């Protein structure tokens, strides 16, 4: 059974992603940058028609199809998961929310709106968004869950 807090987390993440993208795209011209923390953090409004690191540019319909399949698989595993398996359920919610956020951008705008830009230890990390953060944190939760599950069965 899906808990209200799980629905709340999913809806909140998708809303936060959409709101942040809308605010940035209305406040910053495409391609412009605003320094937040000198030499470390910028708001840079870009559009990505590809995947991570702009791979496979222009494959909108492929990405839409992959997102639909991914969300169906995540939804299936979520419904089948034990409600006591908190790490797995949180991981699936985060990954689903991130996938849905970027799916909506691709569907509505033909690309994903990115705006968070960081220089970490001299490496300019690719510009990303809230949906990307949710996806990555979800993957980390999934890895943690696999270690927890592995220890239970060891």
Q: How far apart, in whole angstroms, are the C-alpha atoms of residue 70 and residue 115?
A: 24
Is the pLDDT confidence value at 136 over 90? yes
Average pLDDT (102-109) is 96
What is the separation of C-alpha 57 from the centre of its chain, rounded to a whole number of angstroms?
18
Residue 132 annotated to the active site: yes
Catalytic residue among 17, 39, 82, 132: 132
Is the pLDDT confidence value at 154 over 80? no
- What is the H or E stretch that residue 137 is in? helix 130-153
What is the separation of C-alpha 114 from the centre of its chain, rounded to a whole number of angstroms?
11
pLDDT band at 2 (very low <50, low <70, confident <90, very high): confident
């Amino acid at each position: 059974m899906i808990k209200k807090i799980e629905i709340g987390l999913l809806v909140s993440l998708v809303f936060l992603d959409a709101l942040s993208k809308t605010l940035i795209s209305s406040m910053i011209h495409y391609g412009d940058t605003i320094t937040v923390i000198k030499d470390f953090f910028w708001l840079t409004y870009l559009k990505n028609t590809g995947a991570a690191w702009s791979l496979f540019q222009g494959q909108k319909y492929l990405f839409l199809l992959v997102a639909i399949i991914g969300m169906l698989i995540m939804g299936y595993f979520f419904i089948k998961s034990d409600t006591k398996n908190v790490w797995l359920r949180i991981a699936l919610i985060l990954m689903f929310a991130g996938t849905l956020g970027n799916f909506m951008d691709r569907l509505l705008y033909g690309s994903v709106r990115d705006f968070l830009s960081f220089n970490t230890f001299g490496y300019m990390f690719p510009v990303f968004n809230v949906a990307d953060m949710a996806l990555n944190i979800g993957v980390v939760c999934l890895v943690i869950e696999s270690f927890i599950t592995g220890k239970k069965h060891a």
